Amino acid sequence: MSTPTKHIAYRHYCPSGLTGCDRGSGKPRSEKCRLCKARLAIETGAHGVFVWRGDGRYLQAEPVRVYTSPTAADRFCNANLEKNYVVRWIYA
């Protein structure tokens, strides 16, 4: 599925899954995990804001808003507390 935005976000994570390994957004200084030295995996997508459904199933084609930053998506949710919004990653 394609991301419903022209802006793409990047998430980096350590594929080893060890506790304390690197995870994050943006561009890391190193391409390796600080803890285990494994090469970081990169996911492309966006942070989508969805109306909370309760069943955990959110269609990638139905976000209310789309952001490249998780902080901006959370800021939108906090500014609109009368609605039940949730932020989910949308894979590109």
Q: Give Cβ neighbours of residue 80 (< 8 Å, ≥ 6 apart).
A: none
**48 pLDDT more than 90:** yes
List the alpha helices (DSSP H) in the chain: 70-79
Q: Which one has a higher pLDDT value, 9 or 29?
A: 9
Q: Which two tokens stand for residue 17?
A: 């899954």
Q: Where are the domains of the chain?
A: 9-91
Q: What is the pTM of this model?
A: 0.73
φ/ψ of 71, rounded to 5, equals -65, -45
Task: For the chain, give the mean pLDDT.
Answer: 83
Q: How far is the C-alpha of 18 from the C-alpha of 36, rounded, in Å?
A: 8
Which tokens is 48 given? 């989508």
Q: Find out whether 57 and 12 touch, Cβ atoms under 8 Å.
A: no
- Specify the pLDDT at position 6: 64
pLDDT tens, position by position, 57-89: 888 888 999 999 889 999 999 999 888 999 999
